[in-house]
Amino acid sequence: MEILLLNQISPDQVVLLQWGFLRITATLLYTWFVMGILILGSWLITRKMSSDVHASRWQNLLEEVVSTIRNQIQEIIHDDPGDYLSFIGTLFLFIGLSNLLLIVPGYVSPTASLTTTSALAICVFIAVPLYGITKQGIVHYLKEYFQPTFIFFPFHIMGEITRTLALAVRLFGNMMSHDKVIAILLAVTPLFFPIIMHALGLLIGLVQAYIFAILAMVYIASATQAHEKKDGKEN
Amino acid sequence: MHIDWFVFFAQIVNFLILAYVLKRLLYGRIVKAMDDRQARITSQIEEAQQMKDKARESAEAFEEKNRSLNEMAQDVLNKARDEAGKTRQDLIEKAREEVDLIQQRWYDTLGREKTSFLENLRKRSGTYVFETISRILFDLADQELEQSIVNKFVRLIREAGKESLDLLSHDRALQNTGIVIKSSFEISASQRSMILDELKHYTVADVEINFETSPAMVAGIEMLVSGHKYSWSIKDYIASLEERFAQLLKEEIPSIPDA
């Protein structure tokens, strides 16, 4: 009895098309699928935007989502969230929708691929110094790596790398293990229990998207606001 | 755990593209819509606040105007009341004056009527008394009253002549003016001769003596000589009767003042 399909092990393993080193895998396909939904949905909803008091339900939904993201960012940085909204909001929406679409039969979340989570983590890894340098200047930003003494420079670098790695592995581990646990439970238990686990999985998916986005924001905030750099919010 | 590096970079590109597109299609528009709505609501609230302030100012102005109008109306009312009171007082005064005037006229009229009545009464009383006394004298003494009056007049001349008529004999002015003897009745020839006989003792021979009959006199006879009058008349008695009658009338109608 085959309890795990190949794509359930890792969508990266499923190659749909290949031209030389160009490989269209299931990860990319599902990523485009999620991107398509986000872009198409945004375009459809926002093409008839209304600044009136009475707005459409979908517009209200999007406004609520965007407003919540802005509030979360503002609570962390205590500043205008406009500069970070696009980056943090896209992280949350992409990861969240990727995880919620697990309810679609045959769909495998791109976040269950270490390649995808690593790519997102690298984006955060690059975004942190970019925002830090933009806000503080390169000298002031680099000076933080030598605080309190230059001896701590390697530890700062290790900290940057490890937290990026943790960011990637945490999301990947959670999403990948969820698929695997569902598959195993489906094989050994009656139908109802996996349904509950599936619902729980949707919640976990949203929580993981929230954690990933919040941690990314905390890292960026620590880089842009030196006095809060070691506030330990990532724990 | 294997990382497909092509997919890795493709995912980075995908993410950047998605972030850019969502920034253009989603965040920008949504945030703009929310900001516009907030600005509009703020504007509406400010406008509502302004309208509220304006309404409050209008209400206060209206109340002030209403208060002013009430005060003005009260002033006008008080003024009208004062003027009405004054007018009423004037009208009362005027009415009182008119009443007094009418009352005075009434009193005058009443007085004239009273006088006329008394005059009439006096005449009638005199006439009745004259007739009564004439009838009494005629019945009792078998002598005409007129003769009695003439006799009385003759005695009166005789009594007066002793004291004052002697002067007539020396008064030459009598030749011009003469002597006028008025009586209420026609004096007969014998009676005239009685009077002339008596008078000739005191007058010169050529003095003219005229006899006149005056119906206005009441049962009497009088003689006018150089501004002096010698008379006898029932009028004197009637005057006493008239006085007593007037006194009686006044006692009966005390509110009627003397004319």
Let me know if residue A233 belongs to a domain. Answer: no
User: How do the pLDDT tens digits run along chain B, 259 residues long?
Assistant: 677 888 889 999 999 999 999 998 888 888 888 888 889 899 999 999 999 999 999 999 999 999 999 999 999 999 999 999 999 999 999 988 888 888 888 888 888 887 777 777 766 776 676 667 656 655 655 556 788 888 888 888 887 776 666 556 566 666 667 788 888 788 888 888 888 888 877 776 677 788 888 877 767 888 877 677 778 877 777 677 767 766 776 665 545 555 4
Give B-chain residues touching A31 at CB under 8 angstroms: 11, 14
What total number of domains does chain A contain?
1
C-alpha B233 chain-centroid distance: 44
Print the domain residue range for A109: 6-228
Residue among B6, B11, B29 minimizing CB distance to A46: B29
- Interface A-B, measured as beta-carbon pairs within 8 A, has a size of 119
* Residue B134: C-alpha distances to residues A234, B42, B138, B176, B242 (Å): 164, 130, 6, 37, 20
Phi-psi region of B142 (alpha: psi -120 to 50; beta: other; left: phi over 0): left
Q: What is the ipTM of this complex?
A: 0.86
Give B-chain residues touching A51 at CB under 8 angstroms: 32-33, 36-37, 40
The torsion angles phi and psi of B225, rounded to 5 degrees, stand at -135, 110
Q: Where are the domains of chain B?
A: 108-252
Could you tell me the two tokens for B76? Answer: 């006008």
How many angstroms away from the CA of B51 is the closest CA of chain A?
20
Among A99-103, A107-111, B126-130, B134-138, the range scoring the smallest mean pLDDT is B134-138
User: Which residue carries 């021979």 as its tokens?
Assistant: B205
Q: What single string gives the DSSP state of each residue in chain B? A: ----HHHHHHHHHHHHHHHHHHIIIIIHHHHHHHHHHHHHHHHHHHHHHHHHHHHHHHHHHHHHHHHHHHHHHHHHHHHHHHHHHHHHHHHHHHHHHHHHHHHHHHHHHHHHHHHHHHHHHHHHHHHHHHHHHHHHHHHHTSS-HHHHHHHHHHHHHHHHHHHTGGGGGG-TTHHHH-EEEEESSPPPHHHHHHHHHHHTTTS-TT--EEEEE-TTS-SEEEEEETTEEEEEEHHHHHHHHHHHHHHHHHHHSTTS---
How large is the greatest C-alpha to C-alpha distance in chain B, in angstroms? Answer: 199
Give B-chain residues touching A52 at CB under 8 angstroms: 37, 40
Could you tell me the two tokens for B202? Answer: 């005191």
Residue among A27, A86, A122 minimizing CB distance to B12: A122
B26–A10 CB contact, under 8 Å:
no
Give A-chain residues touching B2 at CB under 8 angstroms: 10, 12, 114
Let me know if residue A234 belongs to a domain. Answer: no
Let me know if residue A163 belongs to a domain. Answer: yes
Strand partners, B233: B220
Query: Could you give the CA distance from residue A114 to residue A116 in angstroms, rounded to a whole number?
Result: 5
- pLDDT value of position A231: 45
Q: Which residues contact B249 (CB under 8 A, 6 or more apart)?
A: B114, B118, B256
* Residue B144: C-alpha distances to residues B136, B149, B196, B215 (Å): 10, 9, 20, 18
Let me know if residue A17 belongs to a domain. Answer: yes
